[in-house]
Amino acid sequence: MNEVFKGLLSRFVLVFFDDILVYSCNWKDHLYHLEIVLRILKQHQLYAKLSKCAFGVKEVEYLGHTLSGDGVAMDNSKLAAVKNWVQPKNIKQSRGFMGLTGYYRRFVKNYAMLAAPLIDLLKKDAFIWTEEDTLAFDKLKEAMISAPVLALPNFKEIFILETDASGTGIGSVLSQGLHPIAYFSKKLSLRMQK
- Based on its alpha-carbon atoms, the radius of gyration of the chain, rounded to whole angstroms, reads 20
**Residue 4 above 90 pLDDT?**
no
Kindly report the backbone phi and psi dihedral angles of residue 73, in degrees, each rounded to the nearest multiple of 5, phi listed first.
-125, 160
Q: What is the pLDDT of residue 131?
A: 95
What percent of the chain is predicted at pLDDT more than 90? 64
**120: which strand partners?**
none
Look at 155 and 181; give whichever has higher pLDDT: 181
Label residue 148 exposed, middle or buried (CB < 10 Å: 0-12, 13-18, 19+).
middle
pLDDT value of residue 29: 93
- pTM of this structure: 0.82
For residues 65 and 5, give the distance between their C-alpha atoms in angstroms, rounded to a whole number.
Answer: 22
pLDDT at 147 over 90: yes
Above pLDDT 70, what percent of the chain?
Answer: 99
Length of the chain, in residues: 194
Query: Measured in Å, how far apart are the chain's first and last C-alpha atoms?
Result: 45
Span 97-143, pLDDT tens digits: 999 999 999 999 999 999 999 998 888 677 889 999 999 999 999 99
User: Mutual orientation of helices 91-103 and 131-145 as an angle, nearest 10°?
Assistant: 30
Domains and CATH numbers, the chain: 2-56 (no CATH), 59-193 (3.30.70.270)
Residue 3 has pLDDT above 90, yes or no: no
For the segment 164-185, the average pLDDT, to the nearest whole number, is 93
Please say if the pLDDT value at position 156 is more than 90. no
The Cα 33–Cα 29 span in angstroms is 6
